[in-house]
Amino acid sequence: MKQKILILPGDGIGKEIVAEAVKVINVLKDDFDLDVELTYGDIGGAAYDADGHPYPPTTQKLAKDADAILLGAVGGYQYDDLPRDVRPERGLLGIRADLELFSNLRPAILNKELADASSLKAEVVAGLDIMIVRELTGGIYFGEPRGIRELENGEKQGYNTLVYKESEIERIAHSAFKIAMKRDKRLCSVGKANVLEVMELWHDVVERVGKEYPEVELSHMYVDNAAMQLVKEPKQFDVMVTGNMFGDILSDAAAMLTGSIGMLPSASLDKNGKGMYEPIHGSAPDIAGQNIANPLATIMSVSMMLLYSLNREDMAERIDAAVERVLQQGYRTADIFIEGIEGTKLVGTSEMGDAVVAALLS
């Protein structure tokens, strides 16, 4: 049976990079035997413009019907002054919560062709391969109560709540341990149990779940130290598991180790493996519409989709090999281009997509 992929380009460079990923999907359909059907919808600012809401009911329905979702990015300067509940970011948080995509996988893999693009020394990052597992539908992003209130003296106070239930910690821990089992069997749980009760519970629940995975070596680290270790000695990590906000921050840091945030895909999965796939970078309104954004993170998000939701590991490998190939051939978008390296050439978004297509077909 045909599997349904919902395409949500979103805002800014989202439209351009998703167009390149769709080229790749179409090649897999036409020239290999991928049996999928694509539908399109709006999310974020684009959806607000069309429907008055960043995650409108039409998109909700499409999302529920799909087997997997490919998302570009959301956000733009023109939406910054909108009320909080209709801002583009709310669309993204809305779809994550609505579909219960609690397990967010953010790999940070350094492609060996790009060791020089990292801001760290090549020997510190060479061979880097970390998987960050971020809890995505709980924690301070969704905790109640939240708001801005006025105190008796007339001063305003902003407040949010960092909460995790045992069941939420358990399911993300299982997700992370399962991934660790398929990798180097080392899991580091990142928290702040020295200060926050909620992270003390997090620590204890992860320990408890760990008893079911005796082969996995479990360690714990406070988030400030984890941030430091990520830039000091990143190769010590195999899989990291953490809460929503810590994961947001650490995954940006980890991304930069690889040279460019334009290289990293992500998967957000529900308990059945249905998933939404997106590059981890944002909508970059400053460079939107100029054909200079890097489409590789989005193309590699298609690879993760094939692996985690569509059960086509063979095709995921094809995409990864094609990406590897174009980097070997020297194609570089501006974010990964370094002046003066022999054999490299600066290309735009669509040329990079075409190069991947050519590599797939060669």
Residue 192 annotated to the active site: yes
Using CB under 5 A, pick the residue from 42, 113, 248, 320 that binds Mg ion.
248
Q: Which of residues 318-337 bind ligand IPM (CB under 6 A)?
A: none
Using CB under 6 A, pick the residue from 51, 89, 100, 354 that binds ligand IPM.
89
**DSSP bridge partners of 240:** 132, 188
Written as one string, the DSSP assignment of 154-180 is S-EEEE------HHHHHHHHHHHHHHH
| Size, binding site for ligand IPM by CB under 6 A | 4
Q: CB-side exposure of 32: number of CA atoms within 13 Å? A: 17
Q: Regarding beta strands 156-159 and 147-150, do their DSSP bridges make them parallel or antiparallel, or are they unpaired?
A: antiparallel
CB contact set of 137 (below 8 Å; sequence gap of 6+): 96, 97, 100, 101, 102, 168, 244
Q: Regarding beta strands 239-242 and 129-135, do their DSSP bridges make them parallel or antiparallel, or are they unpaired?
A: parallel
Catalytic annotation, pick one of 55, 192, 213, 335: 192
In the bound state, the residue with its beta carbon closest to ligand IPM is 89
The CB-of-123 to ligand IPM minimum distance in angstroms stands at 29
The CB-of-255 to ligand IPM minimum distance in angstroms stands at 10
| Unique residue bearing structure tokens 């960050």 | 132
Cα separation of 221 and 268, whole Å?
24
Cα separation of 15 and 290, whole Å?
11
Catalytic annotation, pick one of 49, 252, 270, 354: 252
Instruction: Please answer whether residues 300 and 316 qualify as being in contact, where contact means their C-beta atoms are separated by less than 8 angstroms.
Output: no
Using CB under 6 A, pick the residue from 13, 36, 92, 267 that binds ligand IPM.
92
| Stretch of residues binding ligand IPM (CB under 6 A), selected from 56-64, 89-97, 171-179, 219-227 | 89-97
Nearer to Mg ion, 88 or 210 (CB): 88
Q: What is the DSSP letter of 132?
A: E
Site string for ligand IPM, 33-72 (x = CB under 6 A): ----------------------------------------
Q: Which two tokens stand for residue 165?
A: 């239930």
Residue 49 contact among Mg ion, ligand IPM, none, beta carbon within 5 to 8 Å by kind = none
Nearer to ligand IPM, 92 or 327 (CB): 92
Residue 81 annotated to the active site: no
Residue 92 contact among ligand IPM, Mg ion, none, beta carbon within 5 to 8 Å by kind = ligand IPM
Catalytic annotation, pick one of 30, 116, 204, 224: 224
Q: Regarding beta strands 68-73 and 265-269, do their DSSP bridges make them parallel or antiparallel, or are they unpaired?
A: unpaired
Q: Which of residues 211-250 bind ligand IPM (CB under 6 A)?
A: 248
Among 252, 138, 146, residue whose Cα is nearest residue 201: 138
Nearer to ligand IPM, 248 or 320 (CB): 248
Rg (CA), the chain: 20
Cα separation of 94 and 309, whole Å?
21
The CB-of-280 to Mg ion minimum distance in angstroms stands at 7
Nearer to Mg ion, 168 or 248 (CB): 248
Helix (H) or strand (E) holding 28: helix 14-31
The residues binding Mg ion (CB under 5 A) are 248
The residues binding ligand IPM (CB under 6 A) are 89, 92-93, 248
Catalytic site positions: 141, 192, 224, 248, 252
